[in-house]
Amino acid sequence: MTLTIADAGDDAARFARGMLPLWVGIFSFALLVLAGDKLLIDPDTQWQITVGQWILDHRAVPESDVFSFTMRGQPWISTQWLAQVAYAKVYAWFGWSGPVALAAAASAATFALLARYLSRTLSETAVLVFVLAAFALTAPHILARPHVLAFPVMVAWIGGLVAAADRHDAPPPRLLPLMALWANLHGGFVFGLAMMAPLALCAAARASCRPGSSQSRAPSSAATASSCAPAPGKRPDAGCPLMPAPTSG
């Protein structure tokens, strides 16, 4: 009987721990939606919507500046076209409530993902402390702008790299679509590529400390990390030992 009660208590604790990211996401979304207009205090939001609507109307990404007075006609492309299109669509459907809800949902997903990754190794209290700290530091930057839509992709990308390093394994191929998505949402994807180098060095250092490991693996891993950044005309996994090579058939 005692064992049954103890097992039930353990199951309840695991269930509550598994639900923590969901509650973090719900609370974050509700808080940001209540903030409402505070997510629209950046005048750049209107410009992002306008560019997104232009892309929808013309079914193309602009190749020259068509919006400014001083640089009109000069070569220019939008590096965050996908986020601009998303903001333009929700604005067309719901008015200003659309961009607010979209930015709030992306931010809530970010903190939920962060809680999910942290809960693998930390207690519930520690997870909440780190999430609250992240929320406080991020709050001034939570605006209806493209970078907010890239936040959850950033957390998922870095979390996947860290998890792979902890397993002493190569990053899973499913991370590649995340990078493609990030690159079309915001120019900050370069940060995600840069994070590969220190994580590869960390994994190499940890591997070299294991019995039977060769100290010569660290330099090669550093070179591997730098070779993983996709180059124009080059497949992202081409020549990259960190990424599993595609198999035929």
As averages over each run of 10 residues, the pLDDT of the chain (249 residues) reads: 54 67 96 92 91 93 83 84 96 96 97 94 93 95 95 94 84 90 93 85 72 44 41 42 39
pLDDT of residue 71: 80
How is residue 119 annotated by DSSP? T
How is residue 67 annotated by DSSP? S
Query: In the numeric block, which tokens belong to residue 55?
Result: 């892309």
Are residues 78 and 49 in contact, defined by beta-carbon separation less than 8 angstroms?
no
pLDDT of residue 77: 85
Are residues 64 and 54 in contact, defined by beta-carbon separation less than 8 angstroms?
no
pLDDT of residue 9: 54
Residue ranges per structural domain of the chain:
20-168
Are residues 108 and 28 in contact, defined by beta-carbon separation less than 8 angstroms?
yes
CA dist., res. 176 & res. 182, Å (int): 10
pLDDT of residue 220: 36
End-to-end CA distance of the chain, in Å?
A: 54
Chain length of the chain: 249
**How much is the pTM?**
0.75
3-state secondary structure of 29: helix
Query: In the numeric block, which tokens belong to residue 215?
Result: 């100290």
Nearest 5°: phi and psi at 235?
A: -60, 140
Nearest Cα residue to 228 out of 206, 200, 203: 200
pLDDT of residue 100: 96
CA dist., res. 139 & res. 175, Å (int): 27
